[in-house]
Amino acid sequence: MRLLMLGAGGIGGYFGGRVVAGGGDVTFLVRPARAERIATEGLKISSPHGDVTLKPKTLTEAREPFDAVLLSCKAYDLDSAIEAIAPAVGPDTLVVPLLNGLRHYAALDARFGAERVAGGLAHIPVTLKPDGSIVHMGPLQRLIVGPRSEGQQARCETLHAALEPGGFRPILSQTIEQAMWDKYVMLAAFAGLTCLMRAPVGAIMQARDGEAIADAFLAECAAVAEAAGRRPAEKPLSEARALMTTPGSSSTASMLRDLEGGGRTEHEHILGDMVDRARAAGLLAPMLTVALTHMQAHEARRTAA
């Protein structure tokens, strides 16, 4: 199966690179500067599971269909990403987004047809350094794909098999919609908490009401999921709460790392969409609303500078 990975940043570079290292057929669709760096210096991955430097195939412009296209861009680059992959999407191509949140599915379905857009998500603590190398910051390396409709089942099974050489044990889920909601609840609550407080979990837990505020974020997000018929089960909720309330933890959401780095963030795609869903369901979401407003105010100052 010929796979096209849009982007060679943290998530796309890591998982795509692992598949290449295992002998899989992956081509990276990247910007010219990234293609040049990969050609000269290689795609470098540093990880608890082993370091590797690769010279994978790259493209700066798609010209023909692939069997599957995986998107690993930031949400604010979605429109340009859709245009970039369009020539690579044929009648039988499977499109699998690995973006955070859920809002991107509407745009992808509208452009390529819902029958071509499968479900996907990644759980991995990873970052892209200024020198272009990928740093995997912990052992977790979970990639989940699955059909959003019965007609996608066979193609998702083929994709799952094509990802297996990567060694990260990809998961083929028959309940991918619920899995995506489980992650969305965790991510929105975690991002809202750490971005609003501008601090890692351990520091927040030292505040008198830190734990109560974390619980409030999680409760609001779970209520939105429940209104959509996708309330997480007790295990994912417990895992999310542990992530957000462990004393001494240095964990922060990637959104906070982007904010502190001075770059754009996915606040509208994550927090904004969750607030919109809450309002549409007639739910109050005061913590999410404050966190979103905080991020919007920061973005106004950033763009005015």
pLDDT for the residue 305: 77
Indicate if 83 and 151 belong to the same structural domain: yes
Indicate if 107 and 166 belong to the same structural domain: yes
pLDDT at 220 over 90: yes
Which domain covers residue 12, as residue numbers?
Answer: 3-174
CA separation for the pair 247, 270 (Å, rounded):
25
Q: Pick from 174, 199, 227: which residue ends a domain? A: 174
- pLDDT tens digits, residue range 128-174? 999 999 999 999 999 999 999 999 999 999 999 999 999 999 999 99
Residue 56 near residue 28, CB atoms below 8 Å: yes
- Specify the pTM: 0.93
Indicate if 188 and 143 belong to the same structural domain: no
- Given the residues 55, 57, 74, 183, the one annotated as active site: 183
Contacts 24+ apart (CB under 8 A), 292-301: 292/192, 292/267, 294/195, 294/196, 295/195, 295/255, 295/259, 295/265, 295/267, 295/271, 296/267, 296/268, 298/259, 299/264, 299/265, 299/267
Indicate if 134 and 50 belong to the same structural domain: yes
Indicate if 183 belongs to the active site: yes
Give 266's contacts (C-beta < 8 A, 6+ positions apart).
74, 75, 76, 100, 101, 255, 258
| Tokens linked to 248 | 């001494």
- Compute how many other C-beta atoms are within 10 angstroms of the C-beta atom of residue 167: 14
The closest alpha carbon to 169, from 10, 9, 18, 11, belongs to 18
Q: Pick from 174, 194, 211: which residue ends a domain? A: 174
- pLDDT tens digits, residue range 94-117? 999 999 999 999 999 999 999 999
CA separation for the pair 255, 261 (Å, rounded):
10
Residue 305 near residue 256, CB atoms below 8 Å: no
